Chain A
């Protein structure tokens, strides 16, 4: 038994370039295999006539405004972001979408200060076009499609106007059954940042610029998916009714309300709101993993150091306190997410503030959950079960504003 060799690599780069080439090749092959499979599957869905009217129920979780961490950087280096790749890009984009709160009371001045439109059911995503290609990224930052489009610098075509370096970012919902990106907001256009512009200006710019590019045309070789604006209304009686009952080419999933004066703010904001009922969405009351509506409302809360159970809001809203005994029994610790049923005692309020909640511990939620429910979500769900905010309530709040002027459809933007 000779002494064991203990030489370590000395002044050498640990990676061999050959090994690197091999790994890059394997990655490339795996990616192409995924693409080929994906293409086969998409082709299949496309060719199958029965796939048309099927809205995908599983897209709803996608739309639940589970709050993202609210510490996303306000100063956005968009030029930098448009060049990010891989994990970096995922991380960045995951925090960039503006996420609406749930509407639990009717804002003042709806007709004056708010827009309303029917939200398409589908995958919320950012679409970035630059350098001759277009990439869409889901809320978690992962890539949905990588494709050529008629957006500025969105494809490698000879006649592309503007410099090849220019980029644009759109906030979209990809609607599976007609393979269309419905554009609900414009964040950046030909390098011009719209983050600090009001919704009023952004929507105006969106309606005037998008159509110019040919992005709303049917798909072609250099334009794989159609883009479409959604009809946006002033939130007066006529506008609200139009958004609520009007025919649209997509499956609706609730209504979105945007404050006209609000800038594009990343993360949760009370200046954008979502509301839904059975008539305009298939998914009003949360279902469990089996797709059933549970008999009692379920909430997911985060356990704090002091035993408090709170929402994901900033600052958090406390819903109750967990006994030491239960904490120990369930082996929970601070930061854990826990699932509760709201019992018959319900939620009690004093002066509009939550006083007491009748919570019953159910267990730990699916590991996939990253955040506790937001206050507005819990409240919206609670109200949906007990005294929902109805469309009539919304309409009534508008008509009660005596000084309103009826100017129907004056900012309808259908391209």
Chain B
């Protein structure tokens, strides 16, 4: 039943658009008319050594895309489609795929190995294709290197595709044996050895048991270390990649090997080619990541029950590791600061040094300071830059006591360098280092300030001046100013040292946003971000100046909306700018709206702002929508009941946002804004509730919408119910069954991983907030009896949450509050039911003695409400 598809496949890659289009159309028709035959024909094409390699590759690619998709929903469809295909067709297709692994054509083999892995990804978890691993392993002992290479590659892809529990340990052992043997120096073919090394990278996740066995682990480690010495660059690089993966997956097993690994990595950093040296540095960055995590989690205190101890590898290696990294800093590329994608050994080394500083703290300082002192004044820019970068890198980690004296000496030097150094690269790093000083060593938490009355004027002058420098330097200067402002965020409504400079700073930042070249090095974005931070951290003294900023920003936004006939590139930039301007207005609204006095004055702009935000929705940019929506939420909160006048016009965009499955962030933010509006308008939102509820219910039933939006939708039910009270009656028949089934699903989740547990808890919280709002909304109404039928289920849900013992604090607090709300609203009618529930006894008493005061507060409320409900 296979069909001749070669010509169509070749045409589909034709230069001539009409031919290509026709061929694509043909393929589509074929697929729709007879899927099994279509897939089989493609597999046949792929496996046929007489066919051109181009058609074979495309055949494989189409097959692969018929088995997997990025989008979750589509992916599930494809899996189901494959599983329901006629078994005999599948057998034939799979035979073709396996046969292709022995093809002399590299591209065909390589494509086939990816398709085999996709099929395995679907079938192995369903206990199908049990003979696959055995068949592949039998290939390993065949003579042609082709076949061995393709088979190892396939095993690697399978390990990447399939979760370890879908493969039995016996097979895992055999796969690892085959892979490690393939890596061994006794393997003479480099392609085979490379494929084996890359396969091991993916197979490491399967090797838990083998890494617990001393002998097997020793063997694997020996082979990996040997491979790092291979004469073939790609093998060395792949072997170091394995070491990096091992450092994070099996950190706790590394102690016996760390000395050898240090020697290997040090040699590579010094002598090897850059791709290998980068991996060698990455190994130490990754060890730092591990130790930072461990130390953060256990606070350096291992008397308790920490399951992974810290071995202090970095601390032990410090005297040799730091000089090695410092040396890399001198190997900068000429233009790395202008190149977004640049990554070289100097950048990797400096980044690693920063991680080392965070891992060991004070101990790094004396090892780095001599390097800085020696190089910082040298005529060669590379030396000055390396010294500055080293200094900037160690500013996070060591204690302020250790750093502040050094920073006090360095600050002046840096300010001068930022003005006068002839080299842009040095200036870039200097501005960045100033930013790091302000980020980590400036703020109300520190006892001795590095910025004082005596030097603040100079610092600001230099930064503002530097903002006129080339874009990459100006961007770093904005960043430094950002952290300078942030350090004063605790000034509250009292006086801020920035007040005298406020006007000048704002003016300078606005000037930057208008620079012709502000599109480079993300300068414009940095300028607006800094402006936002300056506004956020401003005090009442400057409220009038913040107010003056509103018409300026509104005018800018207005101009972007007036622009006509833009190219798609220009339009994209315009949308980005709209997002930034909406973000800026949002920050201003929140700032001024938080004080009664300034709120009153800024309200005069509310109508105009709202009109502009609504016009932004006409653009098709998700980011701009998101920002406009966030700004409207802030405006709704500030205007409260007056917001009702905007509703007739705003409503359609609200609905549009709720329908935006694709850009789920927009949807999520819109759901949050519905909550803002509920609290602002209270029962005046009623006329819009039919539409909003319909859309929210649709969102919940959709399997296209990202799951993270669902918990806030449930919370939003609560917001609506609280706002409209007993008018929520008509939605009960829709909302309650949804809540009920979601509650049942979320009650038990045995064996879930941390992510799943976190998600489930946020779902539970949303459901409980909905119940809370609904019960409180009906409180005191004549219709409370409508809620009686739901009480047994709600109580059961609370009981099962309590029994499961995997709630987080937020859920406990909401859950015990729901118990109170239920008792409060239903009163004595629910008394007997409440008394039967475990929650009203054990759960309640546990919450009453919780160390979290929010939980205790809710529990006290629940206790009071229950005592009333059962007392009469």
Residues of B within 8 A of A56 (CB): 860, 863-864
Is B868's CB under 8 angstroms from A50's CB?
A: yes
- B6 in the interface (beta carbon within 8 A): no
Among B198, B533, B863, B868, contact of A58 (Cβ-Cβ < 8 Å): B863
- A407 in the interface (beta carbon within 8 A): no
Residues of B within 8 A of A156 (CB): 595-597
Among B303, B630, B821, contact of A25 (Cβ-Cβ < 8 Å): B630
**A334 CA to B241 CA, complexed, in Å:** 43
Is A131's CB under 8 angstroms from B672's CB?
A: no
Residues of B within 8 A of A28 (CB): 590, 634, 637
Interface residues of B in 474-511 (CB under 8 A from A): 476, 479, 482, 490-494
Is B848's CB under 8 angstroms from A58's CB?
A: yes
**A43 CA to B698 CA, complexed, in Å:** 34
Is A58's CB under 8 angstroms from B860's CB?
A: yes
**A40 CA to B597 CA, complexed, in Å:** 27
Among B432, B637, B669, B848, contact of A22 (Cβ-Cβ < 8 Å): B669
- A140 in the interface (beta carbon within 8 A): yes
Identify which of A11-19, A95-103, A307-315, A372-380 touches chain B: A11-19
Count class of interface residues, chain A: 35 or more
**How many Å from the CB of A43 to the closest CB on chain B?**
8
**How many Å from the CB of B42 to the closest CB on chain A?**
23
Interface residues of A in 1-23 (CB under 8 A from B): 1, 3-4, 6-8, 10-11, 13, 17-18, 21-22
- A83 in the interface (beta carbon within 8 A): yes
Among A32, A37, A88, contact of B776 (Cβ-Cβ < 8 Å): A37
Identify which of A198-206, A233-241, A322-330, A363-371 touches chain B: A363-371
**How many Å from the CB of B197 to the closest CB on chain A?**
10
- B302 in the interface (beta carbon within 8 A): no
Residues of B within 8 A of A45 (CB): 861, 864
- B41 in the interface (beta carbon within 8 A): no
Residues of B within 8 A of A54 (CB): 864, 867-868
Residues of A within 8 A of B821 (CB): 41
Most buried by A among B285, B476, B583: B583
Residues of A within 8 A of B861 (CB): 41, 45
Is A85's CB under 8 angstroms from B817's CB?
A: no
Is A368's CB under 8 angstroms from B850's CB?
A: yes
- A383 in the interface (beta carbon within 8 A): no
Is A1's CB under 8 angstroms from B198's CB?
A: yes
Interface residues of B in 664-696 (CB under 8 A from A): 665, 669, 672, 675-676, 679
Residues of A within 8 A of B864 (CB): 45, 51, 54, 56
Most buried by A among B241, B476, B528, B856: B856
Q: Mark B770-786, 1 if CB is under 8 A from A, else 0.
A: 00110010011000000
Instruction: Tell me how many residues of B have a C-beta within 8 Å of chain A.
Output: 97
Interface of A is mostly: loop
Using A18-B583, A370-B851 as known contacts, say yes or no to A13 and B237 having CB atoms under 8 A apart.
Answer: no
**A29 CA to B718 CA, complexed, in Å:** 13
**A47 CA to B428 CA, complexed, in Å:** 64
Q: A3 — nearest CB in chain B belongs to which residue?
A: B237
Among A8, A13, A22, A290, contact of B630 (Cβ-Cβ < 8 Å): A22
Residues of A within 8 A of B237 (CB): 3
**How many Å from the CB of B386 to the closest CB on chain A?**
14
- B707 in the interface (beta carbon within 8 A): no
Is A41's CB under 8 angstroms from B769's CB?
A: no
**A89 CA to B711 CA, complexed, in Å:** 31
Residues of B within 8 A of A334 (CB): 303
Among A3, A41, A333, contact of B824 (Cβ-Cβ < 8 Å): A41
Residues of B within 8 A of A415 (CB): none
- B702 in the interface (beta carbon within 8 A): no
Q: B682 — nearest CB in chain A belongs to which residue?
A: A36
Is A13's CB under 8 angstroms from B479's CB?
A: yes
Identify which of B50-58, B99-107, B275-283, B550-558 touches chain A: B275-283
Q: Mark B439-456, 1 if CB is under 8 A from A, else 0.
A: 100000100000000000
Interface residues of B in 426-467 (CB under 8 A from A): 428-429, 432, 435, 439, 445
- B759 in the interface (beta carbon within 8 A): no
Residues of B within 8 A of A369 (CB): 851
Is B868's CB under 8 angstroms from A51's CB?
A: yes
Q: Mark A287-314, 1 if CB is under 8 A from B, else 0.
A: 0011100000000000000000000000
- B153 in the interface (beta carbon within 8 A): yes
Interface residues of B in 236-263 (CB under 8 A from A): 237-238, 241, 244
- B715 in the interface (beta carbon within 8 A): yes
Q: Mark B193-214, 1 if CB is under 8 A from A, else 0.
A: 0000010011000000000000
Q: A333 — nearest CB in chain B belongs to which residue?
A: B303
Is A37's CB under 8 angstroms from B817's CB?
A: yes
Interface residues of B in 552-594 (CB under 8 A from A): 579, 583, 586-587, 590
Among A37, A140, A290, contact of B722 (Cβ-Cβ < 8 Å): A37
**A22 CA to B623 CA, complexed, in Å:** 12
Residues of B within 8 A of A290 (CB): 841, 845
- A33 in the interface (beta carbon within 8 A): yes
Residues of B within 8 A of A44 (CB): 776, 779-780, 824, 865
Is B482's CB under 8 angstroms from A142's CB?
A: no
Residues of A within 8 A of B872 (CB): 50
Is B490's CB under 8 angstroms from A7's CB?
A: no
Is A17's CB under 8 angstroms from B529's CB?
A: yes
Q: B533 — nearest CB in chain A belongs to which residue?
A: A17
Q: List 9 additional contacts besides A21-B630, A28-B637; criterion CB under 8 Å.
A: A3-B241, A7-B343, A11-B476, A13-B479, A17-B525, A50-B868, A51-B864, A58-B863, A131-B493
Q: Which 9 A-B pairs have the closest CB atoms?
A: A368-B851, A17-B529, A40-B776, A142-B853, A1-B198, A7-B343, A289-B845, A6-B282, A83-B492
List A residues at the B interface (Cβ < 8 Å).
1, 3-4, 6-8, 10-11, 13, 17-18, 21-22, 24-26, 28-29, 32-33, 36-37, 40-41, 44-45, 47-48, 50-51, 54, 56-59, 61, 83-85, 88, 131-132, 138, 140, 142, 156, 164-165, 289-291, 333-334, 366-370
Provide 5 A-B residue pairs closer than 8 Å at the C-beta atoms, listed in order of the A residue. Answer: A10-B347, A29-B633, A33-B718, A61-B849, A368-B849
